[in-house]
Structure 1
Amino acid sequence: MELTADIARNFAAIALGHVARPYPYKDDHVFTGAEDLRLPQDAHPVFFGSYDWHSCVHGWWTLLTLRRLYPDMPEAAPITALAQETFTEAKLAVELAYLDRPSSRGFERPYGWAWLLYLHHEAERHEDREWGARLEPLARAFAARLQDYLAILTYPITVGTHFNTAFALILARRWAVARDPALVTLLDDWAERSFGQRSDYAGWEPGGDEFLSPVLTAALLMAEVRPHLAFASWFERLVLENGWLARECRPVFVSDRSDGKIAHLDGLNLSRAWCLRAIAGALGGAEHHQDLYRLAALHLDAAMPHVAGDYMGEHWLASFALLALLPEP
């Protein structure tokens, strides 16, 4: 379960092959009239590749993360050149202006919002470039939207797809820690109200098109919100005492990787690996943490051979594999 230079180069090559690939593209757009007819790259000159907007965002997160970790790899130069061409003030202004449309209120909520914040979090680490400063207005706009959204979101959305609330809050919180203490407080309070009293998980997981675990994303969020001992006892009550983790949490089977929804299940294996590994780290020397590492490795091993292949998975899976392999947030 280590990110190596060879894996990094492979992931970089995959992402370079799709972040600027315009077609096929699945548009998340509400047409209010004939005047809205346009090509995706006209509305989204930065994030028009990778099949859809959010996958392009986290494809760029993948590329920038790998550039930082492996600055001397051959792929670092084309990443830099493409990012310079892409992250311009003019192009990002178009992305920001798109949010002003009244029908864009729910655009990419909350999955794309969170990934954009995480991309900005990464871009600011590249001090030799202005990418972070250029992305900041867009990040701030989505952070404000997230704050407004949580004010009206009475209940967490606990599905295993893009609408999952806990996953979005994990990435958003990591962005906010160094930039918006008030948002961190809001996210922590919201997480405690939504998940703090949960126990004895018995959900019907996995669903047939999930790429996130409803329970493990909630657990990872709480691991980042709560102190060690408070989290450990909560996690024990959630999935350990009732045997759910040992009985149900096993790598899932993917029957058809050319089907975009079924291919989500490779992502479930990867995102479970990410959650399990991070939760194990939060538990430290607790009784179960080595079991969690072993379970994470099983999930990672099941999915890694399938990160590349059919475009239905290839346009996004490397990002989740990288999450699972990273040594730190």
Structure 2
Amino acid sequence: MSISALQPHAQTWATTIAEVLATPWPYAAAHASRGPEDCDVTPSRLHPMFHASLDWHSSAHMQWSAITLLHHTALPEGTRDALTAELDSRLTDENGQVEATYLADHPGYERPYGWGWVATLTAGATALAADTAHPLAARARTWATALQPVADQVGDHLIAWLPKLAFPIRHGVHSNTAFGLTLARDAFEALGVDDVVTAIDRAAREFFLPDVDYPSSWEPSGADFLSPALCEADLMRRVLPHQEFGAWLNTFLPVLAEPGERLLQMPVVLDETDGHAVHLHGLALSRAAQLRALAPFLEAPRATAARSAADELVAHASAAISEGDFMSTHWLVSFAVLAALME
């Protein structure tokens, strides 16, 4: 993990986070109304923690980005204060109970992508709270305490859901099983919730261990922000012992990072205002993070190619992270942070 790679971008990214978390509309509530009395989808009422930034999951992971930058970079006082004030207003015990109750009442809501990000946010706040020398540790304890009931509900949902999932979802958008489980596994491992980690490992082995010769030339689809191939490999990197994973990766993606291999190519966005088209900027960033994570398991020429492609993918998407349309800026910082942490 490369914390130092965050600092050159910290001010720009933090400013973007503050701006999008203060942008209430447009908002996609994704609320399934159960009757005429259940049609008030005012974002701050339904989701007092996770309103603004277009949708529930983006609000959650942009708050994770804020906490990550507050924890690991030096920000100007005004920017730091703006982010902490935003988090103080959202991450309260009362708001956490509202969000936990909503998830309990809507067990399929934001599954598994939003679940993974809320768990990740909780783990980030908990890590900052544990860093007692940090000036924001006390405030982070308040945030982590407020988030804990929401993360607990996510953990309960995962344990209940995974045995009922007959097949993984393998496409490159929010419902991708491997990416959501990767986020959740890292978070619950950091939080010390062993039963959730065990359930994820069991499901990952069942779903993905038999896979061989993935057709990476079929990627990407036109709205992907995730590579199904790389998401699967990145999850199994966590689940399998080091040597076993290297052998599995070589059979799953035998041509990874070979010359001309599609997973290293730059995605092209033709309409910067189209919320689905700009997913491809996120694909560049998520590919970069995962290629950096997988490079140590490749032989030297392929490892070098993977790292070089990751750098090019980040550069390719860099303008959209903070300078693009709101359809990009409301979420891309988080994927840029993931890529920087793997640099």
Cα gap change, 1:241 to 1:5, in 2 (>3 Å): closer
Equivalent in the alignment of 2:132: none
Equivalent in the alignment of 2:95: 91
Shift of 1:291: 2.2
Cα gap change, 1:109 to 1:251, in 2 (>3 Å): same
Shift of 1:319: 0.5
Shift of 1:288: 3.0
Task: Describe the superposition over 1:97-141 as per-residue Cα deviations: whole angstroms up to 9, x where unpaired.
Answer: 21243xx12111111000000000101022222211211111010
- Equivalent residue for 2:306, pick from 287, 292, 304: 292
Equivalent in the alignment of 1:68: 71
Aligned AA (1:139): A
Equivalent in the alignment of 1:150: 162
Asked if the contact 2:93–2:145 (Cα under 8 Å) also holds between the matched residues in 1, the reply is no
Equivalent in the alignment of 1:41: 44
Please give the secondary structure, in 2, of the residue aligned with 1:17. helix
Equivalent in the alignment of 2:235: 221
- Structure 2 distance, partners of 1:243, 1:314, is 29
Using the TM superposition, name which of 92-101 and 146-155 deviates more.
Answer: 92-101
Aligned AA (2:51): F
Aligned AA (1:7): H
Alignment of 1:53-202 (within 5 A): 53-74=56-77, 75-101=79-105, 104-127=106-129, 128=137, 129=139, 130-178=142-190, 179-202=192-215
1:279 aligns with 2:294: yes
Shift of 1:182: 2.0
Please give the secondary structure, in 1, of the residue aligned with 2:128. coil
Aligned AA (2:21): V
Shift of 1:37: 2.2
Task: Describe the superposition over 1:148-177 as per-residue Cα deviations: whole angstroms up to 9, x where unpaired.
Answer: 110100111001000000001111111121
Asked if the contact 1:211–1:265 (Cα under 8 Å) also holds between the matched residues in 2, the reply is yes
Please give the secondary structure, in 2, of the residue aligned with 1:125. helix
Equivalent in the alignment of 2:328: 313
Q: Give the aligned CA root-mean-square deviation in angstroms.
A: 1.9
Using the TM superposition, name which of 180-189 and 315-324 deviates more.
Answer: 180-189
Please give the secondary structure, in 1, of the residue aligned with 2:159. helix
Task: Describe the superposition over 1:253-304 as per-residue Cα deviations: whole angstroms up to 9, x where unpaired.
Answer: 11111000001000000100011011124x2876632222112112111111
Cα gap change, 1:246 to 1:196, in 2 (>3 Å): farther
- Tell me which stretches of 4 or more aligned residues in structure 1 moved more than 4 Å: 241-246, 284-287
Shift of 1:54: 0.5
- Structure 2 distance, partners of 1:245, 1:107, is 41
- Structure 1 distance, partners of 2:284, 2:9, is 18
- Structure 2 distance, partners of 1:88, 1:40, is 16
Shift of 1:180: 1.4
Equivalent in the alignment of 1:259: 274
- Structure 2 distance, partners of 1:174, 1:79, is 24
Shift of 1:78: 1.6
Using the TM superposition, name which of 68-77 and 54-63 deviates more.
Answer: 68-77
Aligned AA (1:166): A
Q: Give the helix-richer structure, 1 or 2.
A: 2
- Structure 2 distance, partners of 1:234, 1:287, is 19
- Structure 1 distance, partners of 2:286, 2:193, is 26
Aligned AA (1:190): A
Task: Describe the superposition over 1:53-92 as per-residue Cα deviations: whole angstroms up to 9, x where unpaired.
Answer: 1000001001000000124433222211221122111122
- Structure 1 distance, partners of 2:285, 2:108, is 27
- Structure 2 distance, partners of 1:60, 1:52, is 12
- Structure 2 distance, partners of 1:141, 1:20, is 27
Q: Which runs of 5+ in 1 are unaligned?
A: none
- Structure 2 distance, partners of 1:217, 1:245, is 21
Number of aligned residues: 325
Asked if the contact 2:60–2:121 (Cα under 8 Å) also holds between the matched residues in 1, the reply is yes
Asked if the contact 2:220–2:227 (Cα under 8 Å) also holds between the matched residues in 1, the reply is yes
Shift of 1:93: 1.5
Please give the secondary structure, in 2, of the residue aligned with 1:126. helix
Shift of 1:248: 1.3
Equivalent in the alignment of 1:236: 250
| TM-score of the aligned structures, taking structure 2 as reference length | 0.90
